[in-house]
Structure 1
Amino acid sequence: MSDLDALQAWLGPGARPARHALTGQVGVALPPFVDHHVHLHLFDPAKLAEHGIAGVLDLGGDPDALARRECGIPEVAYAGALLTARGGYPVGRAWAPDAVVREVASSSAAPGAPGGARTAVDEMADAGASFVKVVLHAGAPTLSDDTLSAIIEAARTRGLPVVAHAEGAGMAQQAVRHGVDALAHVPFTEHLHGETIAAAVADGMLWMSTLAIHAGSEAAAVARSNLERFAASGGRVLYGTDLGNDQAGPQAVGVSVAELSALQDAGIRGPELVRTLTDAWPRGVVAGLASFVAGAPPAEEHALPEWLASARVLPAEELVAAP
């Protein structure tokens, strides 16, 4: 096995030895890292690039503000406002001002119908959303099956996938039953039956990790159990931190050692761990950039998260092949 083959067996097919043409520093170039779950209105993203993150998915923000955001690093794809039931989560929460929530009162497919499912989806699509996010939260009024179906149908018409925040008894099952494209969190409030996990995998559903926000709680063990079975069954997992959500304490801006370690603990290791970071869903590769990690990768698996967390984003043209 060549050195390149060994490197790619450890870190995935996108890894290559590289030298920074401006500094001479030698290391490994990887496809650009993406955090698939953040809330930009809750933190300053300015330092993400110097800490390895080239792209983010904003999973709930003011659609007008996001549409006006200047291009740059990180590259941003967004859902716009969270679509929830009238009076549903997160209405009234301090972290979710009115601009980041839309209450959907009916399953109406009529264009412009006040409170209608199509109206909410059209607003997000017209604001440049790359996907739509719905809230299924058992602790508050939640979307009915009819309204959820109408949102999904409207999103499909606009060519947008649907992400669900599913929290509480039966909520992940509702998302799976309706063919939601992705879950914003690994399910953490109940252990899912094998049939539900098998159906999610068969439908190609993606799960965004956000494991570290549950550190030290009972939810952490539930999420780990669900993720272990989902991943072992071939489920597609995306690295996501819910950055801006400080319920488990302040999070560092950039690649999270805690999140990667939690993914490893759930059996996602080596090239599969790196793939969660480099998966370009839903818009494709972040063009012209690479995540560069100086030095040789560690030989021991437990050290990989800290090494990956030392990455920084560079223009791909500044990285040349290293022997």
Structure 2
Amino acid sequence: MPHHDPFALRELLGDDARLCRRAISLQAGVALPPFVDHHVHLHLIDERALGGRGIAGVLDLGGDPVELARRPIEGMPRLAYAGAFLTSPGGYPMGRAWTPPAAVREVSDPSDHPGVAGGAATAVDEQASFGASVVKVALNADGGTVLDPGTLSAILGAARGHGLPVVAHAEGSGMVRIAIEAGVDALAHAPFSELLDPELIQAAVVSGQRWISTLDIHREDRDADRIARMNLERFVSAGGVVLYGTDLGNGDLPVGVNARELTALHSAGLRGTDLLDALTDPWPRSERSQGVATFVPGAPPADVDAIPAWLGGATVVPTEELISDDHG
């Protein structure tokens, strides 16, 4: 692809890609919509590095709702969050060293009445009152007790009442099936415990369920890595919607754009514009951040296989700092 050809650029990276220069340094590159990491834990990282490494927005999927509510929503990074994990009594992630007690709520009653101790509606109402954009439930058969179907259904109903989607951590035999059949809106991880039947993957696609990728967290677990990649590849092939997410804070992951995650997504079938869609989807918000862009310095690649590594050099800049070189 000729580097000066904006039409070829958009074919490779989508209609929102623009050739540009930074106003002060005159550094040439490509402006793209703001990148979002759809699975982070801010209490486990130093988020100050995110913007310099290309991430303009995050979805925090498990933290103290009081502390999260104190953060500026439209700051850097732009923030959406679930608040606390909702889990069964004694269930995952209770007792984990990385989880502060304030980041977990044990739901023991399927009650849809507000104010019931341990009630489903009470737990959801609390997260909503602190500004949550999603509700996070834990379905981990390998981590203790699991929410029973009635309580899970009650949580989903309460979340629907607030207009909030539900994200599930689904781990262990049968947990993904429970999440799909219950109508959970998104999975916090590409399923990594077991290979899913084609009919179950199709059911997830038909329901509009989103899968947040987090493939790179399995790089030292060959079985989980193989299973997650195969499930995601089949989900993509069936037309499923994938969101870029890293589970940032879980182990030794780069704070910012993770080129390893992008390479894994590329290998699973998300290439070019599809890969950019996973990175720039503002979900659970409906609109992208305003006033900033993700800028990737250097000439855009001519080969789609080179895109993941190239995107690893991204940074976030104010849109007013960019001078368009795009005359197409």
With the shorter chain as reference, the TM-score category is: over 0.9
Q: Which whole-Å CA distance do the structure 1 matches of 2:186 and 2:290 have between them?
A: 23
Q: Which whole-Å CA distance do the structure 1 matches of 2:244 and 2:72 have between them?
A: 25
Query: 1:56 aligns to what SS in structure 2?
Result: strand
Partner residue in 2 for 1:162: 166
Residue of structure 2 aligned with 1:241, choices 233, 241, 246: 246
Residue of structure 2 aligned with 1:304, choices 296, 303, 307: 307
Alignment of 1:1-323 (within 5 A): 3-71=5-73, 72-139=75-142, 140-216=144-220, 217-246=222-251, 250-283=252-285, 284-323=287-326
Compute the TM-score of the two structures, normalised by the length of structure 1.
Answer: 0.97
Q: Which whole-Å CA distance do the structure 1 matches of 2:308 and 2:212 have between them?
A: 17
Shift of 1:264: 1.2
Query: 1:219 aligns to what SS in structure 2?
Result: helix
Compute the TM-score of the two structures, normalised by the length of structure 2.
Answer: 0.95
- Extract structure 1 runs of 4+ deviating beyond 4 A: none
Query: 1:69 aligns to what SS in structure 2?
Result: coil
Q: Which whole-Å CA distance do the structure 1 matches of 2:234 and 2:102 have between them?
A: 37
Query: 1:111 aligns to what SS in structure 2?
Result: coil
Letter aligned with residue 163 of structure 1: V
Deviations 1:101-122 (A, max 9, x none): 0000010011110000000000
Query: 2:52 aligns to what SS in structure 1?
Result: helix
Unaligned runs of 5+ in 2: none
Query: 1:320 aligns to what SS in structure 2?
Result: strand
Shift of 1:315: 0.9
Q: Which whole-Å CA distance do the structure 2 matches of 1:144 and 1:194 have between them?
A: 25
The answer to whether the 8 Å contact 2:12/2:304 transfers is: no
Query: 2:231 aligns to what SS in structure 1?
Result: helix
Aligned-pair RMSD on alpha carbons?
1.2
Q: Which whole-Å CA distance do the structure 1 matches of 2:7 and 2:124 have between them?
A: 45
Q: Which whole-Å CA distance do the structure 1 matches of 2:280 and 2:20 have between them?
A: 17
Shift of 1:25: 1.4
Shift of 1:300: 2.7
Shift of 1:14: 1.4
Query: 2:245 aligns to what SS in structure 1?
Result: coil
The answer to whether the 8 Å contact 2:72/2:79 transfers is: no
Shift of 1:306: 1.8
Letter aligned with residue 303 of structure 1: A
